[in-house]
Structure 1
Amino acid sequence: MRGDIPIGIGNLSSLVMLSMRGNQLSGSIPASLRRLGNLQALFLTDNKLRGYIPYQLCQLDNLAYLFLSSNQLYGSIPSCLGNLTASLRYLSLASNSLSSTIPSTFWRLAYILYVNLSSNYLIGHLSQDIGNLKVVTEVDLSNNNLSGILPSTIGGLRDLVNLPLANNNLEGHIPSSFDGLLSLQLLDLSRNNLSGVIPKSLEALLLLKYMDVSFNRLQGEIPTGGPKRNVEVAEEATSLPQLLWRRVSHVELLRGTNGFNENNLLGSGGFGSVYKGTLSDGIDVAVKVFSLQIEGVFKSFDRECEMLSNIRHRNLIKIISCCSEIDFKALVLDYMPNGSLEKWLYSQNSLNILQRLNVMIDAASALEYLHHGYSIPIVHCDMKPSNILLDDDMVAHVADFGIAKLLDGGDSITQTMTLATIGYMAPEYGLEGMVSTRGDVYSFGILVMETFTRRKPTDEMFGGEMNIKQWIAKSLVLPDAKIDEVVDANLLGIGTEQEDDDHVRKRDCMSAIMRLALTCCAESPEGRISMKEVVATLNKIKTKFLKDAAAGRRGVLLNRPLVQQRFN
C-alpha cells in the first residue's frame, strides 16, 4: 500500500490491533490515532513514514506493542512514552533517524520487556536509571552515538537475555557488576572506546553464549574460567577480531584438514580454496585459505574479516574465527553440508519449485539485511549460485564477501575497479565500475533466472543480440511463446511420468517469478526495485503457490469416488 495513513483511521474506536507493516506508506503518523483508546498493538514497521513520532501516541493507555522501526522518522523520542508504564511492554524504534538524547522519563517503563532503539543517531550518556527496567529481556542500543560510561546498574537486570551495545562511543571499564546478569546469553560491546580489563566476574554468567568486545582499548588477560565451551569471545585487536575461546592456529588447521588434502577440497575461487576441516573439539568447519600471491588478496582477506565479524543474519555465512600469520591467512566458517546452490542446480537430484523459491527468499532476505538492516549499507557485488550455500535444513546462506563494498559517508553509490563475475554484474558496474545496492538487485535477478531455467547467463546459447534477459522476456510477451520453453523441465514435469494436472498453477508461479526477475534486471538502476520489495513479492508468490496447491488437492479429493477417498 502506498500513500498517507488516512486521518479518518482514528474513527475506528473499537480497534484493538493495527498492523500495516511491510508496505510503502509515506507521510507522517497521524495524530488522530490518539482516538483509538482500545488499541493494544500498533505495527507500522518497514514503511516510508516521515516526520516526528507524535506525542499523541502517549495517550493510548492500553498500548502494549509499539513497533515503528525501519521508517524515516526523525526528531527525538517523545518523553511522554514514560507515562505508559502500566501498558507498554514491547517497543521498537530501530532503523530510523532519531536524534537527541534518550529522555530521562523513558526509564520509568519498569515493566517493559523489549526495547530496540538501534541504528539511529541517539546521543548522550546512558542513565543509571536503566536499572529501573527490572523485567526487561532485551535492550538493543547498538549503532548510535551514545557516549559516557556503562551504568553499573545494568548488572541488576536479572532477566536480561540480549544486550547489544555495539558501535557507539561508550568508554570506561566494563562494570564488574555485570556478573549479576544471570540470564544473559548475548553481550556485544564491540566498536566502542572501552578500556581496562575484562572482569573475571563475568565467568559467573552460566548462560552466556556469545560475547564480543573487539575493537575497543581493552588490555590484560582474558578470563579463562567458567563455561566457555559455547561462548564466542572476540578479543581486543587493532584490525582483526579473533575468538578467544578457540585459538585456531595454522597448525590446528593443517591437522584438521589433513594438511589441506585434496580429498577435503570443497571448492576454489578467485582468492583461494575452501577445505572441509574438523577442529580439535570435533566441530566441522569450512576453512577458506587465501592464495597470498594473488594481487589484492590481503585487502580481500581484511574485508571479509571485517564484514563477517560485524554482520549477523540467519541467511549470511557465519565466521567462527580467522588465522592471520605472515605467510598464511584463512577464515574459519560454518560448514554447510549441502554445498552450494550451483551444485544442486546442475546435479541429477535437482530442487523442486518450492525448494528453489525458499532458497531465493533466503538469499533475498540476506541482501535486504545488507542493504537496509545494517548501519552502513553493504553491497555484496558477487551474487551467483556458487556463493549461496545450504545447511542441513536446506536454509540458504550468502557467502564470499571478498569484493563487497561499504557505502559509507551517506553515499548511495561508489566507484571501484574490482570486477565481479561476468554475466551477473549490472551494466553500470561492468562499464563504469559504479557500485550501489541496485547492482546487487540486478545480480539477484540474473540469479533467479538461472535458478529456475537451469541456464547460466554465459551459456553458449546466449550470444550476439540474445541474452538470458531477452530470452525470458520473449517467453512472457510473445503470443506464440510459452514459459515452458525457458523454465527447467524438471520443475513442470514436462515429458516425464511425473507430468500432472497442475501445470496452470506451476506456470502462473513461474511467470510471476520471471516477471519479478526482469524487474530486478532493469537496464537503469533507477528502474530496479529494492530488495525489501523483492522479499515481499517472493513471499506473496510463495503464499499464492501454496494456497493454490492446497485448493487443488481439495478439488481432486472431492472429485474422487467416496470409496477411494476413504482409502486416501
Structure 2
Amino acid sequence: MSNLIWLDMGGNVFTGKIPDALSQLRKLQVLFLDGNNLHGPMPDNLCNLVNLYRLGLDNNQLSQQLPTCLGNLTSLREFYLDNNSLTSTIPSTLWTNKEIQKMDLSYNFLKGSLAPEIGNVKGMRELYLSGNQFSGEIPSTIGNLMDLENIIISNNQLHGPIPESFGNLISLEKLDLSKNNLSGVIPKSLEKLEDLVYFNISFNELSGEIPNRGPFKNLTPDSFIGNIELCGASQFKVKPCKDNTTLSSSRPRVLKYILPSMALIVSVAIIIFYLVKCHNRNAPLPTQSSSPIAFNFKRISYYEVLNATNKFGEQNLIDKGSIGSVYKGIFSDGMIAAIKVFNLDLEGANKSFDTECQILSNIRHRNLVKVISSCSNLDLKALVLEYMPNGNLTKWLFSSNYFLNIARRLEIMMDVACALEYLHHGHPSPIVHCDLNPNNVLLDEDMIAHVADFGIAKLFTEDQRVLMTKTLGTIGYMAPEYGSAGLLSPMVDVYSYGIMLMEIFTKKKPVDDMFVGEFTMRKWVFESFPDAIMQIVDVDIVNAVEDNIQAKASCFRSVMELALECTADLPEERLNMKDVLTRLKKIKTESC
C-alpha cells in the first residue's frame, strides 16, 4: 500500500514489536497505533516517514530510548508517546524541529534535565511531560514559546525556581508544575497571563507572596496547597505575609513532617489533575496551522458534578441518548448547566468524548452549544454544557403543549444554517457534524437555536473531498452516500439539513410509518411539489394562518424547493451552506 497516507490501527489488542515494514509507507502522513500492547523500542526506521504529520504510539508498552532521528521529521507536527515505558533522556535533536505543535511524553520513565534547546520549538502549542523522572531546573528558554497554550510538567523531580520568563507566554491557558521540588517565589510576571485559566503549583517548596492580580484573582487554594512557606491573601488559605511584603526566596524554610490532617487536603488536591487532554486523533490534516479558539474553563470536580445532579438522580435526567445521558446540574454557586455523561460501558464512548471535547475546544459560535468545562477520570467522563431551558427542537415539533409559528420555524432553521456555515466555511479545518437532527438542536430562553452533540463529528481539509467512516449518524437523516458506503463530506450535513427543513414544516419524521421502501420523505415532498405542496404542510400552521393562506403558500413552496435542492441524491448537486443561508434570507424577506 505504497500510496497510503493515513493508517489508524489504534484501540486494538496488537502485541509484538512495531514492524519494520511500516517504514516503506513513504507517503504516510498519519500513523496511529495507540491503545495496543506493543512492546520493544520505537524503531529508528520510522524516521524514514518524511511526510509524517501525526504520530500516535501512546498507551502501549514501548521501552528503551527515543530515536535520535525524530528531529529529522520536519513535517511532524503532533506526536503522542505517553503511557509507555520509555527510558533514558530526551535526545537534544528532538528540539531541532521548530514546527512541532503538540508533544506528549507523559507517564514514561524518562529522566535527565530539560535541554535549553526546547526554546527553539517556536511552533509548540501543547507540551505534556508529566509523570517522568526529569530533574534539574526548568529552562528559562521555554519563555520563548510565545504560542504555547498548555504546559504540564507535574510529577517529576524538577528543582530550582519557576522561570521569570514564563510571563512572556501570553497565550498560556494551562500551567501545571505540581508535585516537583521547585523553590523560590512565584514570579509576579505571571500576572500578565490574561488567558491563564488553570494553574497548579501544589506540593512544591515554594515560598513568598502569592500574586493577586491578573489570573490569580480567580484561582482557588487547590492551586497552592503543599507549599508551607507561601503567604498571601486569605482566599488562598495561606498565612498572611508579614508587613504585606514579599518574603525573601532565600529565607530558610522550616522543614515539617506532613501532619495526618494533610491526608484530607491531599484528597481534595487529587480531584484536580488537569481538566482534560483531548487529542485530535481522528482529525484529518489541516491545510494550515491554527491555534484553537479556547473556551473559558470553570474548573469543576467530579464531586461537584455528583452533588449538582443529586448523584445523577432521575429527577435531574433531561435526556438519554445512544452514547450517554444528559442531566440538569445546579451547582453550589447557583450556576445551572447541562451535564452530558458518557456511558463508559458502551464501545466508542471514550472516543466520542475525546472527539466532542476536541471539536468544541476549537470552535465558538452563537448557534453552537457552549462548553463550560469537562470532567474526566477513570469513573466518569462528562461535558458541562450551557443549559438550554427550552429543550430540543423535537419537543417543540411533536409535543401537543408546544407550538411554533412559521416565523419561528424559519428563524430556528436560519440559526442552524448559520452554525453549519461556520462549521463548513468559517474554520481553517472544515468540520462535518455527521448527525444533524432535531434532537441535536437545542433552544435557549430566547428560542435561539444551538447545534449540539459533536460526538461523531469529523475534521478534514478542504481538498479532501470525501472521507471514509464507519461511524454513522441517525437513520432517516443520513445522506445516501453516507448511509450506504460511509462516504463523508460537508454535503452530508447539507442533506440532513434538507430533511430537517421538510420535517419542521410538514411535522412528519423521516422514519414515519408511511415511508416504506423507496417511498421516502424526499420522494413524498418531490411528488407534491409545487402544486400540491399545501396538502403536506403541517396542519397546525395552515389553521393558524387561514386568513392569509395564499400568501403563505409561496413561502412553503420556496422552503420545500430549497429542501429538495439540499437533498439531491448526488452530493455535488447539493448547495453548500453559504448558498443555503443566502437563499433562506431571501425567502424570509420576499416570501415569509
Settle same-fold status: TM greater than 0.5: yes
CA distance in 1, matches of 2:197, 2:532: 56
Asked if 1 retains the 8 angstrom alpha-carbon contact of 2:197 and 2:215, the reply is: no
1:343 maps to 395
- Amino acid across the alignment from 1:262: E
Q: CA deviation at 1:482?
A: 1.9
Asked if 2 retains the 8 angstrom alpha-carbon contact of 1:407 and 1:413, the reply is: no
Q: 1:199 to 1:515 in 2, by over 3 A?
A: farther
SS of residue in 2 equivalent to 1:430: helix
Asked if 2 retains the 8 angstrom alpha-carbon contact of 1:441 and 1:530, the reply is: yes
2:538 maps to 488
1:341-387 deviation per Cα after TM superposition (whole angstroms, max 9, x unaligned) = 01100122210111010110111111111111111011100000000
Asked if 2 retains the 8 angstrom alpha-carbon contact of 1:174 and 1:198, the reply is: no
SS of residue in 2 equivalent to 1:465: coil
2:76 maps to none
2:338 maps to 286
Q: CA deviation at 1:239?
A: 3.4
1:434-465 deviation per Cα after TM superposition (whole angstroms, max 9, x unaligned) = 01000110011001111111100000011133
Q: CA deviation at 1:148?
A: 7.3
Equivalent position to 1:318, from 348, 370, 395: 370
CA distance in 2, matches of 1:229, 1:539: 46
Q: 1:243 to 1:470 in 2, by over 3 A?
A: closer
1:412 maps to 465
Q: CA deviation at 1:466?
A: 1.4
TM-score (normalised: structure 1): 0.57
- Amino acid across the alignment from 2:329: G
SS of residue in 1 equivalent to 2:346: coil
Gaps of 5+ in 1: 1-122, 125-145, 151-164, 179-186, 547-568
SS of residue in 2 equivalent to 1:289: strand
CA distance in 2, matches of 1:430, 1:367: 20
Is 1:450 the equivalent of 2:503?
A: yes
CA distance in 2, matches of 1:238, 1:298: 12
CA distance in 2, matches of 1:391, 1:467: 32
Equivalent position to 2:578, from 518, 532, 537: 532
1:502 maps to 548
Equivalent position to 2:562, from 494, 516, 537: 516
Q: CA deviation at 1:485?
A: 1.0
CA distance in 2, matches of 1:166, 1:311: 18
Asked if 2 retains the 8 angstrom alpha-carbon contact of 1:384 and 1:447, the reply is: yes
2:350 maps to 298
- Amino acid across the alignment from 1:405: K
CA distance in 2, matches of 1:231, 1:327: 28
Alignment of 1:63-142 (within 5 A): none
Q: CA deviation at 1:412?
A: 2.5
CA distance in 2, matches of 1:517, 1:301: 32
2:278 maps to 239
Alignment of 1:119-518 (within 5 A): 147=122, 176=167, 200-201=188-189, 203=191, 211=195, 220=201, 225-226=212-213, 238-239=277-278, 246-348=298-400, 349-408=402-461, 410-477=463-530, 481-493=531-543, 498-518=544-564
- Amino acid across the alignment from 2:414: I
Q: CA deviation at 1:213?
A: 7.4
Q: CA deviation at 1:483?
A: 1.6
Asked if 2 retains the 8 angstrom alpha-carbon contact of 1:476 and 1:483, the reply is: yes
1:31 maps to none
Q: 1:167 to 1:515 in 2, by over 3 A?
A: farther
CA distance in 1, matches of 2:275, 2:404: 44
Asked if 2 retains the 8 angstrom alpha-carbon contact of 1:345 and 1:454, the reply is: yes
1:482-501 deviation per Cα after TM superposition (whole angstroms, max 9, x unaligned) = 222111111122xxxx4543
Asked if 2 retains the 8 angstrom alpha-carbon contact of 1:339 and 1:390, the reply is: yes
Q: CA deviation at 1:269?
A: 0.7
CA distance in 1, matches of 2:372, 2:441: 18
SS of residue in 1 equivalent to 2:399: coil
Asked if 2 retains the 8 angstrom alpha-carbon contact of 1:380 and 1:440, the reply is: yes
CA distance in 2, matches of 1:264, 1:522: 41
- Amino acid across the alignment from 1:539: K
1:32-81 deviation per Cα after TM superposition (whole angstroms, max 9, x unaligned) = xxxxxxxxxxxxxxxxxxxxxxxxxxxxxxxxxxxxxxxxxxxxxxxxxx
Asked if 1 retains the 8 angstrom alpha-carbon contact of 2:275 and 2:299, the reply is: no
Give the RMSD, CA atoms, in angstroms: 3.8
Q: 1:224 to 1:406 in 2, by over 3 A?
A: farther
CA distance in 2, matches of 1:411, 1:250: 40
CA distance in 1, matches of 2:453, 2:211: 32
SS of residue in 2 equivalent to 1:275: strand
Gaps of 5+ in 2: 1-97, 100-120, 126-145, 152-162, 176-181, 204-209, 221-272, 280-291
Asked if 2 retains the 8 angstrom alpha-carbon contact of 1:191 and 1:213, the reply is: yes
Q: CA deviation at 1:545?
A: 3.7
Q: CA deviation at 1:245?
A: 6.4
SS of residue in 1 equivalent to 2:360: helix
CA distance in 2, matches of 1:420, 1:321: 25
- Amino acid across the alignment from 1:487: V
Asked if 2 retains the 8 angstrom alpha-carbon contact of 1:219 and 1:236, the reply is: no
CA distance in 2, matches of 1:190, 1:410: 32
CA distance in 2, matches of 1:389, 1:323: 22
Q: CA deviation at 1:249?
A: 1.5
- Amino acid across the alignment from 2:456: I
Asked if 2 retains the 8 angstrom alpha-carbon contact of 1:235 and 1:243, the reply is: no
SS of residue in 1 equivalent to 2:445: coil
CA distance in 2, matches of 1:487, 1:177: 60
CA distance in 1, matches of 2:219, 2:553: 47
CA distance in 1, matches of 2:275, 2:338: 24
Q: CA deviation at 1:204?
A: 7.1
Q: 1:344 to 1:237 in 2, by over 3 A?
A: closer
Aligned residues: 363
- Amino acid across the alignment from 2:372: I
- Amino acid across the alignment from 2:475: I
TM-score (normalised: structure 2): 0.55
SS of residue in 1 equivalent to 2:529: helix
Asked if 2 retains the 8 angstrom alpha-carbon contact of 1:167 and 1:191, the reply is: no
- Amino acid across the alignment from 2:502: M
